[in-house]
Amino acid sequence: MQQSLQSPAFNVLWLQGASCGGCTMAVLESGHSGWFDELRSFGIRLIWHPSVSEATGAEVVAILDKVRARSIRLDALILEGSVLRGPHGSGRFNMFAGTGKSIYHWVAELAAVADYVVSVGSCAAYGGIPAAGINPTDATGLQFDGTAPGGALGEAFRSGRGLPVINIAGCAPHPGWIMETLIALSTGDLAGNDLDQVGRPKFIANHLAHHACSRNEFYEFKASAEKLSERGCLMEHLGCKATQAVGDCNQRSWNGGGSCTKGGYACISCTSPGFESSRHFLETSKLAGIPVGLPLDMPKAWFVALSALSKSATPKRVRSNATSDHIVVPPSRDGSKKIP
C-alpha cells in the first residue's frame, strides 16, 4: 500500500470488443475486499473500464483522445472480446458508440501507444466464440486468428515494451489469471520469455487442466463415467480434453471450490485457440474405440497398453463409483474389517 502511494500508478485502459462481458464478471470476483481495493493496493489505476468507471459518453472520448496524444500514459491496453472486422473490413458489426469508429479501428490506434497490450479471454486472444461456425462477422483475436498468427494487429506487432500481445486465454478466464498477469506486468515481472508460443503466460500454460483433477483416481484406472453426472473419468466417453488443455484450472478453485470437471462436465479446452470449432463438446471422438485426443505427450501405443493394464487392475470400489452419481462403495481394506 505504502509503495503504491509513492510510485506512479500503472495505467490500465480496458475496452470491450465483441464480448459477452464474462471476463469482467469473472474479475469482479477477485480480491479479498473486492476488485477495486485489490487494484488500488497494487497501484493499478483504471483509466477507464466500460462496466465500472464513472466517465461516460463525451467524457470517455476526451480520455481516449488524451491517451492517443500520449498526454495520459498507457501502461496496458486490455481488450475483452473479439475484434470484428466485418462487414467487408469496415468493423461496423462493432462500433464504439458515440465515436463513429469501430472497435477494430480503436484498438489499432490505442495499441500503438500502449506499453503492453493484453487480451483478456479467448475471444480477444484468438477470436473465440464469435469466430465459430461461418464466423459471420469476420471475428478475430488481436494477434491470432485461431491458431494462425496475424489477427487484428498483425504478426509483427510489438507493444511499447517490445512484447507481443499477452493472451490471458480462457472462456471466461479464472479471475486469478487476469489479476496475476496484470500485477506481474505492473511490477515489471513478466517478460517475453514468460509467454508460450501463442502468447499465454507460462505460469498458467505450463500446466494442464487435468493436473489435480478430483477424478484423478478414475483416470488412473480408466474407470469412466458413461453418462452425465456420474463420478468417473470424463475422458473416455464424455468429451473431456483436460489432458490436452493448458491451464492450472484444477489447481485453483473456481467460485470458491469448483472447476468444470468438478462440476460434472468435460473440459472443452477453452484456453486453446479454435476451441469453439469443436462439435459434440460432451462426447469423445474415437477411432476404433480409442479416443482421438490422447494426453498431449503420450504415444498412442503406450496409452492403449496402459489403459488395458489399468482397467484390468481397477478396484471394485473405483469401477462401481465411476458409473454412479454418488459414492456407492466407500474406501475399505479388501477382505478385512480394518478401518482405513
Partner 1 sequence: MTRIIIGPFNRVEGDLEVKLDIEDGMVASAEVTVPLYRGFEQILDGRPALDALALAPRICGICSVSQSIAAVAALRGTLGIEPAPNGVLAANIAHAAENAADHLTHFYIFFMPDFARDAYASAPWHHAAAERFTATRGSAGREVLPARARLLEIMGIVAGKWPHSLAFQPGGTTRAIDLGERIRLLSIVAGFRSFLETVVFGDRLDAVLAIQTIAEFDRWRDGRAGDFCRFLAIADALQLDRLGNGPGILMSFGAYHGEHGALFARGVFDQASGGAALATTDIAEDVSHAWMRDGATDPALSTTIPDADKPGAYSWAKAPRLNGRPAEVGALARQAVAGNPLLRELVGQSGSNIRNRVIARMIETAHLAVAMESWIRALRLNEPFCADVRQPGEGRAAGLVEAARGSLGHWIELSNGKISHYQIIAPTTWNFSPRDAAGQPGPLEHALVGTAVGSDGAGSVAVQHVVRSFDPCMVCTAH
Among 12, 13, 44, 60, binds partner 1 (CB under 8 A): 60
Quick one: 128 or 164, whose CB is closer to partner 1? 128
- Could you say whether residue 255 binds partner 1 (CB under 8 A)? yes
Binders of partner 1 among 281-310, rule CB under 8 A? Answer: 281-282
Q: Strand pairing partners for 12?
A: 46, 76
Among 214, 325, 329, 332, binds partner 1 (CB under 8 A): 325
Contacting range for partner 1; rule: CB under 8 A; set: 69-77, 158-166, 200-208, 257-265: 257-265
Query: CB 84 → partner 1: shortest distance, Å?
Result: 7
Residue 54 to residues 36, 50, 57, 66, 311, Cα–Cα distance (Å) = 13, 9, 10, 17, 59
Asked whether 285 and 292 are in contact (CB, 8 A), the reply is yes
Q: What is the DSSP letter of 173?
A: P
- Smallest distance from the beta carbon of 326 to partner 1, in angstroms? 5
- Distance from chain centroid for Cα 124: 10
**Quick check: 328 binds partner 1 (CB under 8 A)?**
no
Which of 158, 262, 311, 319 binds partner 1 (CB under 8 A)? It is 262
Residue 183 or residue 266: which is nearer to partner 1 going by CB? Answer: 266
Burial class (CB in 10 A: 0-12, 13-18, 19+), 285: exposed
The region of 69-77, 84-92, 196-204, 290-298 touching partner 1 under the rule CB under 8 A is 84-92
Q: Do 116 and 77 form a contact (C-beta atoms < 8 A)?
A: yes
At closest approach, how far in Å is the CB of 191 from partner 1?
30
Name which of 85 and 163 has its Cβ closer to partner 1.
85
8 A C-beta contact, residue 156 and residue 116: no
Does 89 bind partner 1 (CB under 8 A)? Our answer is: no
By CB under 8 A, the residues from 194 to 223 that bind partner 1 are none
Q: How far is the CB of 192 from partner 1 (least distance, A)?
A: 30
**Cα separation, 246 vs 249, whole angstroms:** 8
Residues 27-56 interacting with partner 1 (rule: CB under 8 A): 28-37, 39, 46, 48-56
Q: Which residue has the cell 490505442?
A: 110
Please answer whether residues 218 and 224 qualify as being in contact, where contact means their C-beta atoms are separated by less than 8 angstroms.
yes
Instruction: Count the site residues for partner 1 by CB under 8 A.
Output: 84
Q: Which amino acid is residue 242, in one-letter code?
A: A
Q: Determine how β-strand 74-80 pairs with β-strand 114-120.
A: parallel
Q: Which is nearer to partner 1, 25 or 296 (CB)?
A: 25
Q: How far apart are CA 323 and CA 328, in angstroms?
A: 10
Of 170, 192, 177, which is closest to residue 125 (Cα–Cα)? 170
Q: Which residues pair with 338 in a beta bridge?
A: none
Give least dist CB 9 to partner 1, A. 13
Cβ distance to partner 1 smaller for residue 190 or 207: 207
251 near partner 1, rule: CB under 8 A:
no
Q: Which of 1, 5, 71, 280 binds partner 1 (CB under 8 A)?
A: 280
Alpha-carbon dihedral 207, 188, 174, 291, rounded to 10 degrees: -30
Near partner 1 by CB under 8 A: residue from 113, 132, 148, 294: 132
Closest CB to partner 1 among 100 and 335? 100
* Position 133 contacts partner 1 (CB under 8 A): yes
